[in-house]
Structure formats: structure tokens, C-alpha cells
Structure 1
Amino acid sequence: MPQIIEALFLGLIEGLTEFLPVSSTGHLLLVGHFLGFESKAKTFEVLIQLGAILAILSVYFNKLWSIAKALPHDPEARRFVVGVFIAFMPAALIGALMHGFIKDVLFDPWIVCMTLIAGGFVLLMIDQIPLEATEKDATRFPLPMYLKIGLLQCLAMVPGVSRSGATIVGAMLLGASKRAAAEFSFFLAMPTMAGAFTYDLLKNYKILSTDDVTIIVAGFIAAFFAALIVVKTLLDYVSRHGYTPFAYWRIIVGAAGLAGLMVYG
């Protein structure tokens, strides 16, 4: 398969899975492994996330602009921005300190498969627990709750755990409704993914060739359009159906990946 076609396919996977609790990075690493797709310093898998970031910005632009305009005179708007910053900081610090270890050690298909399966069983359990939703507005969570969600997001440093899965499950366990948990996961994704993109680009831009940039742009475009569809439909879907379908998907993909690794290596 020509590399540009592989890049488009992987970008599609990134966009479809980034905001679902199934681990986009885990899917990219697994599919890339079996396709034989290699990117320099694993930059492709990180940099194409910019497409998914822009998808959120386009969908939430009016709401974000309203919050921005309210900052000078609205304490609630300022409090929400502070809350997002508090939730973002743990991942920013740990990601910067452990960047090399994460890419060199944890970006491993065996680890991905095992965490996909384990996370699937966690989602199944969460959907069966009668959680009381006391927080139904993602912009009005208590400040300590934002910090706790941010700490739980750090679990997603392990590929296969899922950034959105960790934040959504964490928020629900802390009292958020399914819809509010998913919405805050979107908000938190913006600084988290933008930070990862910027840090990775600054560390690796010197080793990227014109061909590398071309496949990254192709993946970015595919990720943008796929993520646009997911962001527009996910909130309504999870409000009605919960996360059980994603749990089964994780278990199936993780088990299939393990079988593939044992047979093909």
C-alpha cells in the first residue's frame, strides 16, 4: 500500500477514535504495526492529532468565543478557564518529563493490546454501576474535581488506556453526568493535544523530510474530517447508550491484536 494511502487510512482511524474511549494512539500503533508503517520518532502518530484539535475548535467555536468574551467580567468564565488549566497541568508536566520513555518503551503493540482489553472491562463495570450524576455542566465542576480528572488523564500516557476514556470515566466516578463527562473531555483535549503536538514538533522538526511532512498533512486532513463527525454525534449517542459498545470494541480489538502478534509477530 503506498505510504500516502496508509497515512490517509491512519488519519481516518485517528479522527474516528480520538474522542471515543478506545485509545486512538493504541489503534494507530496496532494498525501501523501490521501495515509495516514507520514514522520517524513516532511523530506521525502525535502530529496528526492537530486535525482532531481543529475539529473540536470548529464545533465549539461559538461556545469558546463566548467564554473568551466573558473573561473580563464573568467570574464563572474565568473559573472554568482556570479549571481547564488545572486539569491540563499534570499531563503537561508528566508528558514533558517522560516523553522519551513513553515513546521508546510504552509505544509497544503488546502493551497496547493488554491495556485495550483491561480498559474494556473497566468500561463494562462503569456502565453497570448506578453512579449518581451531581454535576451536569462541564463548565461548572468544582476546582478540585478538575485536578482529579487531570491526574486521571495521566493514565493515558500508556498507549491503549485512552485519554478520553480516562477523563470520561474519571469524571463520571467523580459525579459528572455522561454528557458532561464527554464534553469536558473535549475541552481538556484541546490544550492537552495542542501541547503534545507543539512539544513533539519542537523536538523532532529537524529530522522531518518533505516526504514526512506530506504524509503528516495527509493524515491530518483525514483526521480532521473524521473527528468532525465524531464530535458532532458522540454527546447525543453516549447520553442515550452509554459506553458498553466501546468496551466490547476494545476487548475485541485487543484480543485480535494479541492473536495477530502471536501469529505474525
Structure 2
Amino acid sequence: MNYFNDVLLGVIEGITEFLPISSTGHLLVAEHWLGARSDTYNIVIQAGAILAVTLIYWGRLIELFTHWRDPENRDYLAKLAVAFLITAVLGLVVKKLGFELPTTIQPIAWALVIGGFWMIGAERLAERQPDRSVILWRVAIAVGIAQIIAGVFPGTSRSASTIFIAMLLGTSNRRAATEFAFLVGIPTMYAASGYELLKQVTSGGAHSEDWLSLGIGFVVSTITAFVAVKWLLGFIQTHRFTAFAIYRILFGGALLLLAAAGVVS
């Protein structure tokens, strides 16, 4: 049964990490019923989702780095680097301030609901702009800041905050905004996962882990994320993000009702 739970958690992480519906929020909710997991566990299964997206964008990454002399590629890489550095610096500031993520359901539920309505409004505003695929400097800076906001408020969703801030600030093309958000997310999430995993190893927290359990979660997360992101990239070519916004509102509303009834806390 424990290993079956690992499969479930891997599926949840893989589906929700890059869809704009909040992986942290879903994992915290799942752990209320399946049992809490260690920080090391959550880091490892998240790494599986990052690996999947790295594989999907491998060709794009190779093109950017092998043809970096091309002005367009060099400009794109510079904007990726700036967005990542902003996130890294602000992330260290947040760590130094000792901020800890809330682990109760209600703030996550509110973030899901509010974020859902924000997504609907943001996409409508973005659609009034000309269809533009270029990544502007203000987009790169805002995406870096948005990643930290999503990290500070579970339920916000890193994907949702970065994609929609990019669309609002000039990259109105959904696919272009999504690609930039995901590419920035790759080094950001590798760095965050590596940092947290190193802390766990040096503090001795990794010695008590069930590594078979972690391995199952990692593999399932990788496979599920690969399928989910491939599907998403095809879906957004002809569809808006409205379905995800409605899901967030309904799911967050259901959590608020369960919290009010005392079923979850």
C-alpha cells in the first residue's frame, strides 16, 4: 500500500508541476490523506518532473547553446539568465528571512480560487494585445519575480504566475510565454532541488529514507510529467487556459467547504 501511495504521489506531482494548477497545493492536500512525506521525498519526485521537461526541451536547449553567437539566441539566453538570477537572489533573501510555507489547507484553497479568477481576467486582457512571440526585457524580469511569488504562496502555481505575467506584459502568444516560463523553470527548479537535497544530506535527514519509495515516486513523476507537458503544449495551440482556471476555482472551493466542515485542516 505504501508503494501504491508513492505511485499516486508521483502521478499527482507529474501532472500538476507544470500545469497551471499548483503542484505544492495538490501534494499538501494529498498528504493529508496519504500521509506526510519528508522534504527529501518531495524534492526527489519534483526532480522527476524537471527531468521530463528537460527532455522535452532538450532540442531547444541544444540549439540555444550551440548557436549562442546568433543574436536572437544570445538575446534569449541573456533574458533566461536574468530571470533565473532574479529568482535566485530573491529566493536567498526569502530563505534568510526564515519564511516557511504554510501547510494548512485554507490558504492554499484561497490561492487556488483567487488564482483561477485572475487567470480568466489575465487571459482576456492578453487577448486584446497583438499576437506577439518575442520575449521583452520586462517580461524576463517579471517572470523572475513571479517565480518567487509562487514559491511564497502555495496554491498560486509557478507555471500560472509566470505564463500569465509574460502574456500580460507583452508575450501574448500562449506557446511562446509557456516555453519561456518552462525554460526559466528548469535551472530554477534544479537549483532549488539541489540546494534542498544538499541540506538534507548534510544534516543526515536522507539516511532514514526509503530509497525504493523515492525511486518509484521519481520514475512515475518523470513519466507522468512528460505526458502531461506534451499534452499541454499541444492543447494551448488551439485552446485557452480557461479550463484550468475553472478547475482551480472548483477545486479550491471544494477544499474551503471541506475545511469549513472540519474534514481537512
Q: Do Structure 1 and Structure 2 share a fold, with TM-score over 0.5?
A: yes
Checking the alignment, whether the CA contact within 8 Å between 2:80 and 2:140 is kept in structure 1 is yes
> How far does the alpha carbon of each residue in 1:179-210 deviate from its partner, in whole angstroms, 9 at most, with x for none?
11111121111011101111110111221235
Matched, 1:55 2:52: yes
Distance 1:22 1:8 in 2: 20
Matched, 1:132 2:129: yes
Amino acid aligned to 1:124: I
* SS of equivalent to 1:207: coil
Measured after TM superposition, the shift of residue 148 of structure 1 is 1.7
Q: Which has the higher helix share?
A: 1
Distance 1:193 1:246 in 2: 22
Checking the alignment, whether the CA contact within 8 Å between 1:131 and 1:175 is kept in structure 2 is no
Distance 1:212 1:90 in 2: 35
* SS of equivalent to 1:240: coil
Which of 169, 176, 197 in structure 2 is aligned with 1:174?
A: 169
Moved more, 186-195 or 163-172: 186-195
Match of 2:43 in 1: 46
Match of 1:86 in 2: 82
Distance 1:31 1:261 in 2: 14
Match of 1:31 in 2: 30
Distance 1:78 1:4 in 2: 45
Amino acid aligned to 1:240: T
Measured after TM superposition, the shift of residue 219 of structure 1 is 1.4
Which of 143, 166, 170 in structure 1 is aligned with 2:137?
A: 143
Match of 1:111 in 2: 107
Match of 1:20 in 2: 19
Measured after TM superposition, the shift of residue 98 of structure 1 is 2.5
Matched, 1:163 2:163: no
Distance 1:214 1:222 in 2: 12
Amino acid aligned to 2:47: L
Checking the alignment, whether the CA contact within 8 Å between 2:139 and 2:170 is kept in structure 1 is no
Match of 1:195 in 2: 191
Measured after TM superposition, the shift of residue 86 of structure 1 is 0.7
Checking the alignment, whether the CA contact within 8 Å between 1:131 and 1:172 is kept in structure 2 is no
Unaligned runs of 5+ in 2: none
How do 1:206-225 and structure 2 match up within 5 A?
Answer: 206-209=204-207, 211-225=209-223
Match of 1:75 in 2: 71
Q: 1:77 to 1:58 in 2, by over 3 A?
A: same
Distance 1:66 1:132 in 2: 29
- Tell me how large the CA RMSD over aligned residues is: 1.9
Match of 1:254 in 2: 252
Matched, 1:243 2:241: yes
Measured after TM superposition, the shift of residue 236 of structure 1 is 2.3
Instruction: State, as a whole percentage, how many aligned pairs show the same letter.
Output: 34
Matched, 1:64 2:58: no
Measured after TM superposition, the shift of residue 105 of structure 1 is 4.0
Measured after TM superposition, the shift of residue 134 of structure 1 is 4.7
Amino acid aligned to 1:46: I
Unaligned runs of 5+ in 1: none
> How far does the alpha carbon of each residue in 1:151-177 deviate from its partner, in whole angstroms, 9 at most, with x for none?
122210111000000011101101211
Moved more, 5-14 or 87-96: 87-96
Amino acid aligned to 1:169: F
Distance 1:214 1:90 in 2: 36
Amino acid aligned to 1:215: S
Measured after TM superposition, the shift of residue 144 of structure 1 is 3.2
